[in-house]
Amino acid sequence: MNRPTRAVTAALASLAATVLLQAMCSVASARPIQVTLRDGGIEPREIDVTQGTTVDIVVRNDGTQIHNFVVPDFYVFTQNLHPGETVRVSFVPDKTGKFRYYSDRDGIPEAGMQGTMKVASQPGTAG
Ligand SMILES: [Cu+2]
């Protein structure tokens, strides 16, 4: 193979890997995590996810008041949801650890309306 052909082959291999990765991510996001907002609480209280894997969440407000859903560490901020309203959000956690999520309708976390997102490292990696 001459050099330009090798470069094209490498580019195609890279593209194929990217497409495969996207296909895997879309499979992972096929089953969204259900989050329910209630007046005074969020279910579940804990969400377990994996670093580098798309997190797909469907947030539903089952309360009688307006609520929202924020995960500041990952720049997730939904709009204010009216009772019965649903919104879907997705993001890719880029770090491991425990991170708080909550409803902050008036810019202040509401009493009881919070939970913990635990981000585990990808299998086979140190990070
Ligand atoms: Cu709320």
How many angstroms does the Cα of residue 106 sit away from the middle of ligand 1? Answer: 9
31-120, CATH topology level: Immunoglobulin-like (2.60.40)
What is the pairing mode between strands 114-120 and 97-102? antiparallel
How many angstroms does the Cα of residue 48 sit away from the middle of ligand 1? Answer: 21
Summarised one tens digit per residue, pLDDT across range 71-99 is 999 999 999 999 999 999 999 999 999 99
* Residue located via tokens 């901020």: 77
- In the chain, where the domains are located: 1-30, 31-120
How many angstroms does the Cα of residue 6 sit away from the middle of ligand 1? Answer: 56
Q: Tell me the whole-structure pTM to 2 decimals.
A: 0.74
Give the count of alpha carbons within 13 A of 12, CB side only. 6
